Amino acid sequence: MKKAGFLALLGQTIELATVAEVVAETGFDDLPATVLPPLSIQRTADAAEKLPAVDELLIEQAVALRLPVITEDRKMMLRLDQKRIPFFNALMMLHLLLYRRKLDLPTHTDYLDRLFAVSRYSDRVRAYGEEVLQAVLKFR
């Protein structure tokens, strides 16, 4: 979202939250997100094998606070699904901005082109994104 250019607008539209470790890892100290206080958690060996520590911290915060997660990482998505935490990718967030009328269609299309240029969505994800886009256009 940051590379595609619409993260700031998303942060003005919905409340975003993260953990300090994500800010440190990405180097994006200007994220439009609330930095959540750390939790006291112990990582299991199972979790340590599947995900980097930062990802696991973010997931544990989401579980503790019952918050959805925005991610492009397939391993994180699988882990979130196991924990029954909703998740969305940047493509769905971009469509949300259009649905909420924070973007007009030409601007949305520009951001969509930028997002596709910096992402690696499968044909299946792109097709689903197109279905969501058509629904948004129909009902907005």
pLDDT tens per residue across span 86-97: 999 999 999 999
Q: Which residues have C-beta within 8 Å of that of residue 3, sequence separation ≥ 6?
A: 114, 118
The model carries a pTM of 0.86
Rounded to the nearest 10 degrees, how much is the dihedral formed by the CA atoms of 87, 136, 134, 76?
-10
The domain locations on the chain are 7-88, 90-139
The mean pLDDT value for 92-120 works out to 97
